[in-house]
Structure 1
């Protein structure tokens, strides 16, 4: 997930789960170890998800022009975050120096730091400067109070909606509740233009996107997946209400059956083809869906709003990507300088203007150039500040696999909601006490 390319209870939840995760093979590297490890200059690599905008390569090209003896090279990994994570872990467990810098999903920091796969980043002085960043994003780069990854882009789920179809249906404002969204869908479906338009889409395929979707639905209903004490909290009416929303959306045809196989990029293409009224998606879609090159049939005919919930705006998921330095890489000093270059406010502004990816520098959300191109930035900033996270566990792979398996069985009709939540409660209980 952007996944390409994104806090609420995040700090407490992350610390609780990482403390309970266990089995991390020892404590993370000390500050002195990290500082001493950041030596060596020369060529570096950046392992990352696919650069669909092409702008990352432009930024790397500019670095390379200014640093002829410290050339950076992008290594593109698969689209699916689960596959990206697996390749990074494989590289780390073999102690390979093939990857210098890792572009981590925000919830991977604890796992990679606890296993000593990445080194601590020094702050201040010759280190990185986190002071200009949104506080919620800084938390995503920390493990046990120390910084192991530098936030480069943030993210929060938004509701993309077709302004032209809502206007024709007489709907003046975007929905703030699930029921308002269904009512607006019914009005649009009654129009000739809306006959073949699907109502709503969020990721419910068996990918990392399903973990995001589950967290958003349950948090929006007032529940949690794991509580501040690190224990699963799925045996609640609120958790059931959140999962019921997803299950019934598929069952009742509010979401197309194709939703069970579509990933984030598949959903983007569905929206840009003009086949979708409401789409829960990350901000990166904004620029792509507005392209005037013929790739989007909805350019200029959509807007974004906070995601809805049962009684008002929902609890969006905190996403984003952070840069970390592999513990096994050569030329760590060059890697640190490259991270500082990419995290600089001017670079973040240029990248955001080119890609619509959300920056982590707080001042950019009120920058005139930024708000002129992206009027939704104040909404996005509020969403990021209020966002809630997926469980950030040391054994994140096991946790997310358990969530995906149980919830997919429910949304695909294999099990009912209650059985899925009971199964997931048990699995997470075992994972968080190991």
Structure 2
């Protein structure tokens, strides 16, 4: 998708060799990419003008002087979703523009719920909370057809960033904030115990799949598709991925009860770029209404409100054509269509249809407008490693003790937020 957008930019600037852009993809996982990028920019050896940064990296790269603040006199397009736009800001200055975003959602299996006598509702209500979800999980547990390898729900509690996202969601749902906007640690030991108790409640063995403590995005999705759980906390791209795994009536999506955490990536101009003006133009193109509509159509979560309310300009025609499977013309996500749903051949995919896509788009938009950020700190790498190690130890303990865990976690987090 990103390569197609870069090629569209290059076509539109074919007469200017100086404005031709090249996409450089770094190998490795997110932590390895971050380390490579930091090293390259700090050494001055990189020829990068624009960098695509995880939203949690913005404070670190800004504090290190590796990316430029956006011009203060530049008018910010109010079409960007406000909470998503705020991920570009550090200490009152914007350091980029949101490229693609992410947010936790709750997927569910209507077929499994109906078999247990539960009638699922597609549209979430404002008072939808974990109490309602737990009631459904309890009913599922009493279903006579339930097998020993089934559970109510699953998520990503492996020792990696997915665990941080789930932990921050649990903390935020009970009003626990770990740091302020400037990265100063603000939580107390009592706050930590409150948040850890909420996470333990969600991860209770009677509710969650036992393998959740070792699950990442791939394995948790596989468990959901195999029918081992009726509910799954996951990211927006799963909605498209499920087309190839399940029949259209076997899955749906709702907002996550309580708080949901933001993910995604922002585009920023490097401090050493000799082409800062052209770099900002490229960012403006890549985050335009047309480009964001392309991203949404391709399964990403767009960063602009217009992509969700039907007021966006359509995806660049040649990009849409390049991404079109089999020569068909897929409607924009959430847009009505008179065409019948695509039928699956061997190994093919079946679309849920316009009404379901519109419901997904509405749910995604609503979730993004209410989502919370992970802590904003230049020491995010240290913070997330400390949080993950302590929380995973608690979740895998034979007799979890949140009092002792909070007592150990409190000084460790305080030091991490101070860069110690």
Which of these two proteins has the greater Rg computed from alpha carbons?
2
Q: Which residue in 2 is equivalent to 1:346?
A: 290
1:380 paired to 2:379 = no
Contact conserved, 1:226 with 1:234, CA < 8 A, in 2? Answer: no
> For 2:28 and 2:231, how far apart are their aligned partners in 1?
23
Aligned match of 2:77: 130
- TM-aligned CA deviation for residue 322 of structure 1: 0.7
Partner Cα distance (2:206, 2:43) in 1: 46
Secondary structure at the counterpart of residue 232 of structure 1: coil
Q: Write the mapping of 1:157-196 to structure 2, written as runs, cut at 5 A.
A: 157-173=104-120, 176-189=128-141, 190-192=143-145, 196=149
Structure 1 residues 221 and 269 mapped into 2: Cα distance closer, same or farther (>3 Å)? same
For 2:240 and 2:160, how far apart are their aligned partners in 1?
24
Residues 24-65 of structure 1 show CA distances to partners (whole Å, capped at 9, x for unaligned) of: xxxxxxxxxxxxxxxxxxxxxxxxxxxxxxx22222222233
Alignment TM-score, normalising by the size of structure 2: 0.78
The answer for unaligned runs of 5 or more in structure 2 is: 312-331, 336-356
SS at match of 2:384: helix
Contact map agreement 1:97 1:330 (CA 8 A) in 2 = no
Give, in whole Å, the separation in 1 of the partners of 2:89 and 2:379.
16
Cα gap change, 1:323 to 1:163, in 2 (>3 Å): same
Cα distance in structure 2, aligned partners of 1:162 and 1:79: 33
- 1:300–1:59 Cα change, 3 Å: farther
> Is the aligned partner of 1:61 residue 2:7?
yes
| Contact 2:179 2:376 survives alignment (8 Å) | no
CA shift, 1:361, in A, is 1.4
Task: Please state if 1:404 is matched with 2:388.
Answer: yes
TM-score by length of 1: 0.76
Aligned to 2:340: none
1:231 aligns with 2:211: no
Q: Aligned to 1:152, which of 88, 99, 119? A: 99
Residue 359 (structure 1) aligned to one of 294, 302, 320: 302
* Other structure's SS at 2:84 match: helix
Q: Does 1:284 align with 2:232?
A: no
Distance across 1 between alignment mates of 2:245 and 2:238: 11
1:371 aligns with 2:334: yes
Equivalent pair of 1:82/1:207 in contact (CA under 8 Å)? no
> Could you tell me how far apart the structure 1 residues matched to 2:418 and 2:195 are?
25
Q: Alpha carbon RMSD of aligned pairs, Å?
A: 2.7
1:306 corresponding residue in structure 2? 255
CA contact (8 A) 2:104 2:256 kept: yes
CA drift at 1:133: 1.1
Is the CA contact (8 Å cut-off) linking 1:114 and 1:394 kept in structure 2? Answer: yes
State how many pairs are aligned.
Answer: 367
1:273 Cα offset (Å) = 4.0
- Using the TM superposition, give the Cα deviation of residue 193 of structure 1 relative to its aligned residue in structure 2, in angstroms: 6.8
Rate the CA distance shift 1:196–1:77 in 2: closer, same or farther, 3 A.
Answer: farther
1:312-331 alignment, distance < 5 Å: 314-329=258-273, 331=275
- Helix, strand or coil: the match of 1:72? coil
Q: CA deviation at 1:79?
A: 6.8
Match of 2:66 in 1: 117
Please say if residues 174 and 198 of structure 2, whose CA atoms lie closer than 8 Å, have aligned partners that are also in contact. Answer: no
